[in-house]
Amino acid sequence: MQFEQLKLSNQICFPIYAASRLITRGYQPHLEKLGITYPQYLVLMVLWEEDGITVNDIAGKLILNTNTVTPLLKRMELMGVITRKRSGSDERKVLINLTEKGKAMREQAADIPLELMKSLQNNVISLDELMVMRDHLNQLIGFLKGKEYENLL
């Protein structure tokens, strides 16, 4: 076939994209019980690690633009999960803090990663293989975020 490079089966991006969508779908039943979406779950995980950080910090950790994160945070504030407050030292910065409800959700969400890992494991992929895959994807993400990738464009 001419244009072999355009075959879907020859792409690296498609299997990563498809796996991401399918894994996210696996989270849905667990997150519905908490009344949150997957992006909201990601924000909560960031805040459970470090509460009281800026919108920019959250966006950076999630590799998202602030204009994507801000509407998400506004919805989470309306849900009573977080608070948004301008920094006293720099009004350009908005600090995000968990509410008691947001902190309590951590306990409710604690088993979600384990449940998802159990559902992903089978005779084809072991837990160790999944961890190696995660580490390789993190290396790829680090590379793509770095200067090396920018020089290729």
Tens digits of per-residue pLDDT, 68-85? 999 999 999 999 999 999
The structural domain count of the chain equals 1
Beta-carbon count within 10 A of 59 CB:
20
The pTM of this model reads 0.88
Residue 61 lies in a domain: yes
For the chain, residues with pLDDT lower than 50 are 152-153
In a domain, 92, yes or no: yes
Specify if 86 maps to a domain.
Answer: yes
Domain membership flag for residue 85:
yes
| Residue 82 · residue 98 · CB < 8 Å | yes
In a domain, residue 41? The reply is yes
Residue 61, domain CATH: 1.10.10.10
Q: Domain range spanning residue 83?
A: 37-100
